[in-house]
Amino acid sequence: MKNSPCLLFALKLLISLILTATSLIGKEIDEWARNIVFGLQEIVGNFHLKISSEYSILHYLNNTELLDGVQNELDPNKKGKFLEDLISRLFGSINGFEINERVRTETEEIDILILNNSNESIWNKESLLVLIECKNWSSKCGKNELVQFKEKIKNRYGRAKIGFLISWNGFNETIGKELLRSSQDDIIIIPVTGKEISEGMKAPDFGAVVKKWFMDSVSK
């Protein structure tokens, strides 16, 4: 009985059915996994495309439109991007200032990095790199933000000595004390408010406005 051809045939048929079912299940699982991966790729791709297109549109706005976004945009991320684009546009109008936006390293992020190729006497004696930090917060910046920004400047292998800390809604009292405390250092941090930016935009030469901010800071 144990060697019955019928029994052997039944066993072979059962094994064949099991292998076929396993193969089909494997294919279904593989197809399901592929669909999940492709779906996620599509979601991420569409999100990246949306963000990229929204941000690229900012480059086509004029300064007044960017300023309106800085002041009236409700989305915090977009609000910050409006400010960065406006500041890049304004500082980029200064002869010899080459703008690099959103520089990321393994440990930190720099909003705006300027390569100083200026021939003007006030700038060509200064550091090769100039850093800008933009804060479009509902609150004011203080000592902590200044200290963190100063560390970013220090981490540039001695190639950066100047930084502009731009806080749209101004600064609290702690920043003044910290600036006085660090006035003997060779690093100069120039705090700039939104009001000063708005007024500076009205000037015929924004570069002259920035020079005044610089001179006012080093002469205190």
Q: Tell me: do 73 and 54 sit in the same domain.
A: no
The better pLDDT of the pair 194, 184 is held by 194
Beta-ladder partners of 109: 104
Given a cut of 80, is residue 28 above it in pLDDT? no
- Residue 163 and residue 130 in contact, taking contact as beta carbons nearer than 8 Å: yes
**Does the pLDDT value for residue 89 go beyond 90?**
yes
201 and 177 within one domain: yes
Residue 96 near residue 123 (C-beta atoms within 8 A): yes
DSSP secondary-structure letter at 188? E
Instruction: Read off the pTM.
Output: 0.73
Tens of pLDDT, residues 148-176? 999 999 999 999 999 999 999 999 988 98
Work out the burial of residue 193: count CB atoms within 10 Å of its CB; fewer than 13 is exposed, 13-18 middle, 19 or more buried.
middle
Helix, strand and coil percent figures for the chain, each rounded to 5: 55, 20, 25
98 and 117 fall within a common domain? yes
Residues 70, 42, single domain; the answer is no
Q: What SS3 state is found at 46?
A: helix
Same domain for 75 and 132, yes or no, is yes
Average pLDDT over residues 132-148: 94
Mean pLDDT (the chain, rounded): 83
Residues 88 and 43 in one domain: no
Domain encompassing residue 40: 1-58
Verify that 129 and 170 share a domain, yes or no.
yes
Res 48: pLDDT: 43
The C-alpha atoms of residue 128 and residue 98 are separated, in whole angstroms, by 11
CB 189 within 8 A of CB 146: yes
Q: Supply the pLDDT for residue 115.
A: 96
Please count the structural domains in the chain: 2
Q: Which of 58, 73, 103 is the last residue of a domain?
A: 58
